Amino acid sequence: MKRISLKWKLTILYTLLMTLLTGLVLAVLLSLGSGRLLASAQAALRQRVVESFDLLESREGNLTVDSDFSDREGGIYLSAYDEDGLLLAGRVPYGFASAIDFQEDTVQTAELNGSRWYVYDASTQVRDYGTVYVRGVCSVSAVEEEMNTLVKLAVVLLPATVLLSAVLCYSLVRRTLRPVSRMTRTAREIYEKRDLSRRIGIEGGRDEISTLAETFDTMLEQLQASFEQQKQFTSDVSHELRTPMAVILSQCDYLLADPELSGKDQEAIQIIREKAKNLTRLISQLLLLSRADQNRQVLTMEKLDFALIGRSVMEEMEAAAQEKQILLETDMPEHLMMTGDETMLMRLWMNLAENAVSYTPPGGRVKAGCARKGNRVVGYVEDTGMGIPAEALPHIWERFYRVDSARSDSSHSGLGLSMVQWIIQAHGGEIHAESREGKGSKFVFEIPAEPGREMSAEKNEKNENPLMFL
C-alpha cells in the first residue's frame, strides 16, 4: 500500500466500504423480501380459500360449484370435500388427495414430488347441504423462483454498483486531488528546471487544498525574493572585490621585484601573493556562477579543437603533477572538432585536472581523455586518489561542498565542480562521477558536438538558473 498513490488508496478503500455496505443492504433486503414474499403467498392462499366459499351453493340438496372454482387464479389450486373426505369439486396437485391431513385454519407446508407446497384448509356451512371443506394449495417453489430471480438480480447489481461507485469515487478523488497533483508537478518543475518563478496559480478556492496552494505560492515568492537578493549580493561583492585583489597582486609583484628585499620578507610576500591568487580565483568563480544564476553569462560558441584544449591544459598541469610525483597521461585524438565556448571548455578541463591532481597522493596517476561518440563528444578525467565516499557523491556538485575539509587542499573553495556542472549543462551535455573510496575517482561527461537550434532551445529552458540550488 505504501507505493500506491493517495488517489488509488482512497478509491480502493471507498470501493471496499461500498461493497461491504451494498452487500449488507442487499442481504437484509433479500432476507426481508423472502419473508414478505412467503407471508404474502400465505395471505393470498387464505384469502382465495375464503373467497371461494361464495362459489359453493346447494340446489335440491346437491352441491353446485361455480366454474370459477376450478380456475388456478394466482397459481392456487382449490378443491372441495365432504365430511368423509370425498372430493366434490376442484383440482389438486397429484398426490395431495390422501397424503395431507385436514387441519382447520392452518397453513401447512408439504413436500411432494420434489416440490414444496403451502396447504390451507377451511370449512364452511352450505345451506341445505351441510359442511364443506375447502382446501387451497399453492407452490412454494414458485415463490422461491421469484426469490432466486431477485438473488440473480442482486448478484448482477452488486458488481455494477461497486463498479459504478469505484468510477464515481475515482473521478471525485481525482478532481479533489487535482490541485495536489498540480502542486507536485510545479514543485518537480521547480526542482528540475531550477526556476523559482513558477507558481501553482490556484485562486478562488475556499477549501484546505486551495489554501495550501496559496500558501505554497506565497512561500515561493518569498524564496525567490530571497534568492534574488542573495545572487545580487554575491554578484556585487564579487565585482567590488576584484579591483582590490588586483591591486594586492600587483603590489606583491612590485615588492618581490625588489632585490634588496630579505629572504624572510620575500617568503612572507610570496605567501600573501599565493593567498591573494586563490582569493582572486574564488572571486572569479563566484562572479561567473552569479552571472549564470541571473542568466547573464553568455557563451561565445565557435568551432574549436576540444582535444587540443584538453592537451594544452594537461601540459600546464605537468609541473604541478611532477612536483607531487604524479604520472599524467592523456588519451586524446589528434583533432576533435566541436562547437563550444573555448574559455568555458578550458575551465572545464582545468577544474577537473586540478581537482584530480590535488586529491591524488604522491606516486599516483591522473589520466584524461576524450573521443567522439556519434554526434557527441565524450570526455573523462580519472585519478588514483583518495576517492569519494558513496554518501558524499550526490553532494559534490553543491557549492562550497568538500568531502572532508581536514584532508582537502586549502586552495580549493568547493566551487570547481559546480562550475564544471554548469559549463557542461550550458553546452547541452551531462556529467556524472564514479568513485571508490581509497581507489580513486572518474568524472565522465558528454557534450553535443554540433548543438542545433532545437538542442539550444532545450538547453536554455533546462538551464534557466541552472545552479540556483547548488
The runs of H, that is alpha helices, within 53-177 are 96-99, 140-176
- What size, in residues, is the chain? 470
What is the mean pLDDT of the segment spanning 276-294? 69
Q: What is the pLDDT of residue 235?
A: 60
More confident: 114 or 397? 397
Alpha carbon distance 434, 154 (integer Å)? 63
Largest CA distance in the chain: 167
Contact 200, 186 (CB under 8 A): yes
What is the mean pLDDT of the segment spanning 11-34? 74
The amino acid at residue 127 is R
Alpha carbon distance 387, 356 (integer Å)? 10
Q: What is the pLDDT of residue 413?
A: 62
What is the mean pLDDT of the segment spanning 16-38? 73
What is the mean pLDDT of the segment spanning 130-138? 88
Q: Return contacts of 430-435, CB within 8 angstroms, 24+ apart.
A: 433/388, 433/393, 433/396, 435/387, 435/388, 435/390, 435/393
Q: What is the pLDDT of residue 304?
A: 92
Question: What is the phi/psi pair of residue 447, to 5°?
Answer: -135, 135
What is the mean pLDDT of the segment spanning 5-15? 74
More confident: 169 or 120? 120
Do the domains 208-291 and 6-171 match in fold?
A: no
The runs of H, that is alpha helices, within 177-207 are 178-193
Give counts: helices (H), strands (E), the chain. 11, 14
More confident: 183 or 290? 183
| Residue 25 pLDDT exceeds 70 | yes
Structure confidence at residue 204 as a pLDDT band (50, 70, 90): low
| Residue 327 pLDDT exceeds 80 | yes
Instruction: Report residue 115 as a C-alpha cell.
Output: 416440490
Q: Buried b vs exposed e over 106-115: b needs ≥16 C-beta within 10 Å?
A: ebeebeeeee
Three-state helix/strand/coil letters over 353-389: HHHHHHCCCCCCEEEEEEEEECCEEEEEEEECCCCCC
CATH class of 298-462: alpha beta
The mean of the pLDDT values for the chain is 79
Q: Which CATH number fits domain 6-171: 2.60.40, 1.10.3470, 3.30.450, 1.10.357?
A: 3.30.450
Give the residues across from 365 on adjacent strands. 327
Can you give the residue ranges of every domain in the chain? 6-171, 208-291, 298-462
What is the mean pLDDT of the segment spanning 418-427? 88
Q: What is the dihedral of CA 74, 77, 78, 83, to 10 degrees?
A: -150
| Residue 239 pLDDT exceeds 70 | no
What is the mean pLDDT of the segment spanning 381-394? 90
| Residue 236 pLDDT exceeds 70 | no
The most confident of the ranges 108-122, 194-208, 286-300, 308-322 is 308-322
CATH class of 208-291: mainly alpha
More confident: 210 or 455? 210
Which range, of 57-71, 233-247, 381-395, averages the lowest pLDDT?
Answer: 233-247
Q: What is the pLDDT of residue 234?
A: 60
What is the full DSSP assignment across 414-436? S-HHHHHHHHHHHTT-EEEEEEE
Q: What is the pLDDT of residue 292?
A: 61
Structure confidence at residue 96 as a pLDDT band (50, 70, 90): low
More confident: 468 or 35? 35
